[in-house]
A and B are shown apart, each in its own frame.
Chain A
Amino acid sequence: MISIANVTKQYKGSAKPALDNVSLEIEKGEFVFLVGASGSGKSSLMRLMLREDVPTKGAVHVLGENLIGIPSRRVPYFRRKLGVVFQDFRLLTNKTVAQNVAFSLEVIGKSQGFIQQAVPDVLRLVGLEGKENRLPTELSGGEQQRVALARAIVNKPSILLADEPTGNLDPTTSQEIMALIERINLSGTTVIMATHDRNIVDRLQKRVVELNGGVIIRDQLGAGYQKSQTGANPIIEGGFFN
Chain B
Amino acid sequence: MRAGFIFKEIIQGLKRNASMVVSVVLVTFISLTFVGTASLLQLQIGQMKNYWYDRAQVAVYMCTDVSPSDTCPQGGASADLIAAVEQRLGSPTLQPYIEKFYFENHDQAYKTFQDQFEGNAVAKYVTPEQLNETFWINLKDATKSQIITESFSGVAGVEEVRDQRTYLDQIFSILNAASIAAIAIASLMLVSAALLISTTIRLSAFSRRRELGIMRLVGASNFYIQLPFILEGVVAATIGSVLAGGAVVAIVQFFVQGYLAQQLPFTSFVGLADGLLVVPILIGAGMLLAAAASGLAIRRYLKI
Mask for A37-59, Cβ within 8 A of B = 1, else 0?
00000000000001110000000
Residues on the A chain within 8 Å of B91, using CB: none
Mask for B210-225, Cβ within 8 A of A = 1, else 0?
1101111111111011
Within 8 A of A (CB), among B189-219: 210-211, 213-219
B5 touches A106 (CB 8 A): yes
A109 touches B214 (CB 8 A): no
With A79-B219, A108-B218 known, 19 other A-B pairs at CB within 8 A are A50-B217, A76-B220, A78-B219, A79-B217, A80-B218, A80-B219, A81-B219, A82-B219, A90-B210, A90-B213, A90-B214, A92-B210, A106-B2, A107-B214, A107-B220, A108-B221, A109-B221, A112-B4, A155-B218
How many Å lie between the Cα of A84 and that of B217 in the bound state? 8
A73 touches B222 (CB 8 A): yes
Q: Known contacts being A78-B219, A106-B5, is A92 close to B214, with CB within 8 Å? A: yes
A109 touches B304 (CB 8 A): no
How many Å lie between the Cα of A107 and that of B224 in the bound state? 7
- A151's partner among B211, B218, B222, B225 (CB-CB below 8 A) is B218
Mask for A16-45, Cβ within 8 A of B = 1, else 0?
000000000000000000000000000000
Closest 10 CB pairs of A and B: A79-B219, A80-B219, A107-B220, A104-B218, A76-B219, A76-B221, A107-B215, A106-B5, A75-B304, A72-B304
Within 8 A of B (CB), among A102-152: 103-104, 106-109, 111-112, 151
A241 located at the interface, meaning its Cβ lies under 8 Å from any Cβ of chain B in the complex: no
Main secondary structure of the interface of B (DSSP, over half): helix
How many Å lie between the Cα of A51 and that of B219 in the bound state? 11
How many Å lie between the Cα of A106 and that of B219 in the bound state? 11
Could you say which of A78, A104, A106 has the most chain B C-beta atoms within 10 Å of its C-beta?
A106
- 23 pairs, A vs B, C-beta closer than 8 Å: A50-B217, A51-B304, A52-B304, A73-B221, A75-B219, A75-B304, A76-B220, A79-B218, A90-B214, A90-B217, A103-B211, A103-B214, A104-B218, A106-B5, A107-B5, A107-B218, A107-B220, A107-B224, A108-B218, A108-B221, A108-B224, A109-B1, A151-B218
